[in-house]
Amino acid sequence: MARCDQCGNDYDKAFNVTMADRSWTFDSFECAITALAPRCPHCDNRIIGHGVEKNGAVYCCAHCAGADGISELRDRA
């Protein structure tokens, strides 16, 4: 079995995620999201969708970007 890099659980259905040149082992999507998903700089929610980006900052939505003074971004539909 493989041990989850986030919670330490030893699980027979663990999976690997590779991003750039790093790899992790997780036992659930919850652990993968906790470890890898960026957080919105305005509301601190984890961004598990596309989000919106400006000047290297990734926001969960255009509303949060607007609250931080970035008005030109729109949510994808």
DSSP state of 72: S
C-alpha dihedral sign at 59, 63, 68, 69: positive
How many residues belong to the chain? 77
56: left (phi over 0), alpha (psi -120 to 50) or beta: left
Would you state the pLDDT for residue 45?
Answer: 96
Dist CA 12 CA 60 (whole Å): 33
End-to-end CA distance of the chain: 41
Quick one: tokens of 56? 């290297």
List, for residues 13-54, the tens digit of each pLDDT value: 999 999 999 999 999 999 999 999 999 999 999 999 989 999
Would you state the pLDDT for residue 21?
Answer: 95
Q: How confident is the model at residue 77 (pLDDT cuts 50, 70, 90)?
A: low
